[in-house]
Structure 1
């Protein structure tokens, strides 16, 4: 009854895609990092129940696919889209993923990667009937086949992801340091496992793998250990614009899947601006590790104003094969995106003034 009052059907679907079907062991691990606010118990209940419903299937998937997963030879040269959140990474991911030769994590996979190999038809059918037309964090259209960043899928498997700070917003800086600026050997194993699952789920007949994850901006050394020939596209945007937009997104995510009450807009600005600087510093410290020819830095405005030229430059600079095949599909995706109208981001006056003071 409480859950039905709290969540409409469409909102329930949004919660499931953003954070549902989480493994119970992952959720229990999260409780060691923070307590659930009373008012957020309905969300906690939904996450728990959805995870319990799915839980028998990971055991079956492990039984049937264990050897195939271990033997899976993922491409060691994935195209990795990085850069601060709200810098055009989603748009670029959509364009790159429209290439029929590209494999990537998609919504129908990330909702339950621990069981997706055996539930593939069911997950696809389910999401086609329940997903809303637009993402709950902005006006971007989405569906089961649309690409999604791997951090969202990884959050089903481990609490050592950036999503921990979204689930527990009252402790965001601690989780940012723990999961973004640092990582563990266990997380590295989870990342490799997730990538192998992605390739098994999506890679048949594909020539290359596309990964999009803003957190990977601070994980360059880790990515190169796993994928020595990884090719990076780093997107950059005016910090004032990207941080302002991320403040709004984090507040919306806190209302959607947070297990604690959201921060005030002012505190959210201060924490998000600080995290922005720390992410950029981590990138600057580690980008020298990327071998020559495996990094391309792209301005957000170039991507938005000249997407066709920018995509062609990415393919050429990073040696991604198949531009002739990809071009038609990418142009169709560009044409579709022209109808998108970004929502204006308006913060409370005090929060906006503080943001400008921090980033001026």
Structure 2
């Protein structure tokens, strides 16, 4: 499959609660929005405007000087992996450990105001969410862990995932905010925005060590190590042929909700192919600088087959405390997934050719073959 066929999909833009200033900057940088998207944009800007009093209240109560005093005492544990590689499943499993703090889905969606808006706004967000994700039927709730990158995009323009709104600029967003080709002043702004997200999450989690997952982090390992030299990483990898089909399916469901430019489906797929290659190559280079004992790797297929054994191995390899404490809640969570069935994909010769031409280096590095 090489094109994203986009059916009509109901849903609200995931960055609707970002400040108006962020949206106006994004619109200006992208040269405006085509008329056929004005209705969608109007809804986004209306929600953003309605949230302004809450954003102001949070800034008055939790301003920069107060947030700067929030200490991140333990470096985060990062779940690394390109999108659709099993990162969400692994993140959800690790988040069952009561020793970890998270960025929740509500925190990510309502990032500029969640500290003052818990309660009524959280219930409002929960009522508007589907029970499952449309692209893979995984459970969704405001309490489940979410990508800190979503929170970053809901507080600033400094995020790769804004390419979901403006896929015509996916390559620029990838180079700047995924593989971090930034000027020194841009990097300083990105660090401030990113650390603000993590400090809020630390405050909300009562100071617990954060377990974080954002596929974008795969390309910025070196920068994360500069911020947190003691950070630990779990890289999860999945068969690239399946990842390609799964990512295509994701865009099929997400773009009708988020897209605000006239990028063609073929351009979206080309951008995705380029992003995987760029981020994976960057990770393969950067992982050499991760200190010994701070990186563990796992195949999605092995985690799916023997989750408890693989998790115990990961805890042991990274010397993570609390496996005995985490074992029961993780087992209980796994029991809730007994009826879950992931999507099945037919890998045709066209997909094999596309993946071999663009991601052949990863297929070889991780020892995969086209699934039968």
Aligned residue for 2:17? 21
TM-score (norm 1): 0.89
Deviation at 1:267, TM superposition (A): 3.5
User: Which shows bigger deviation, 123-132 or 345-354?
Assistant: 345-354
Runs of 5+ consecutive residues of structure 1 not aligned to the other structure: 1-7
CA RMSD of aligned residues (A): 2.2
2:59 aligns to what SS in structure 1? helix
Q: Deviations over 1:291-321 (max 9, x none)?
A: 1111111111111111111111122222222
Is the CA contact (8 Å cut-off) linking 1:76 and 1:226 kept in structure 2? no
**Using the alignment, how far apart are the partners of 2:276 and 2:143 within structure 1?**
30
Aligned residue for 2:315? 315
**Using the alignment, how far apart are the partners of 2:238 and 2:280 within structure 1?**
12
The answer to whether the aligner puts 1:47 opposite 2:44 as a matched pair is yes
Is the CA contact (8 Å cut-off) linking 2:112 and 2:155 kept in structure 1? yes
Question: Which structure has the highest helix share of the two?
Answer: 1
Deviation at 1:356, TM superposition (A): 5.4
Is the CA contact (8 Å cut-off) linking 1:134 and 1:141 kept in structure 2? yes
2:217 aligns to what SS in structure 1? helix
Deviation at 1:90, TM superposition (A): 0.4
**Using the alignment, how far apart are the partners of 1:194 and 1:262 within structure 2?**
30
Compared CA separation, residues 123 and 137, structure 1 to 2 (3 A): farther
Q: Deviations over 1:114-133 (max 9, x none)?
A: 11110011232213322110
**Using the alignment, how far apart are the partners of 1:51 and 1:65 within structure 2?**
19
**Using the alignment, how far apart are the partners of 1:210 and 1:75 within structure 2?**
13
Deviation at 1:245, TM superposition (A): 1.1
The answer to whether the aligner puts 1:63 opposite 2:66 as a matched pair is no
Q: How does 1:51-200 map to 2 (within 5 A)?
A: 51-66=48-63, 67-182=65-180, 183=182, 184-200=187-203
Compared CA separation, residues 53 and 349, structure 1 to 2 (3 A): farther
Is the CA contact (8 Å cut-off) linking 1:251 and 1:263 kept in structure 2? no
1:296 aligns to what SS in structure 2? strand
1:172 aligns to what SS in structure 2? helix
User: Which shows bigger deviation, 36-45 or 284-293?
Assistant: 36-45
Deviation at 1:349, TM superposition (A): 8.8
Aligned residue for 1:328? 328
The answer to whether the aligner puts 1:268 opposite 2:268 as a matched pair is yes
Is the CA contact (8 Å cut-off) linking 1:36 and 1:259 kept in structure 2? yes
The answer to whether the aligner puts 1:296 opposite 2:293 as a matched pair is no
Q: Deviations over 1:226-252 (max 9, x none)?
A: 222111011111212112211221232
1:344 aligns to what SS in structure 2? coil
Is the CA contact (8 Å cut-off) linking 1:233 and 1:297 kept in structure 2? yes
Deviation at 1:222, TM superposition (A): 1.5
Is the CA contact (8 Å cut-off) linking 2:18 and 2:112 kept in structure 1? no
Is the CA contact (8 Å cut-off) linking 1:167 and 1:259 kept in structure 2? yes
1:19 aligns to what SS in structure 2? coil
**Using the alignment, how far apart are the partners of 1:248 and 1:349 within structure 2?**
18
**Using the alignment, how far apart are the partners of 2:355 and 2:332 within structure 1?**
37
**Using the alignment, how far apart are the partners of 1:26 and 1:277 within structure 2?**
29
**Using the alignment, how far apart are the partners of 2:108 and 2:259 within structure 1?**
18
Aligned residue for 2:26? 30
User: Which shows bigger deviation, 227-236 or 335-344?
Assistant: 335-344
**Using the alignment, how far apart are the partners of 1:346 and 1:139 within structure 2?**
18
The answer to whether the aligner puts 1:11 opposite 2:7 as a matched pair is no
Is the CA contact (8 Å cut-off) linking 1:243 and 1:276 kept in structure 2? no
**Using the alignment, how far apart are the partners of 1:133 and 1:52 within structure 2?**
27
TM-score (norm 2): 0.87
**Using the alignment, how far apart are the partners of 1:138 and 1:89 within structure 2?**
13
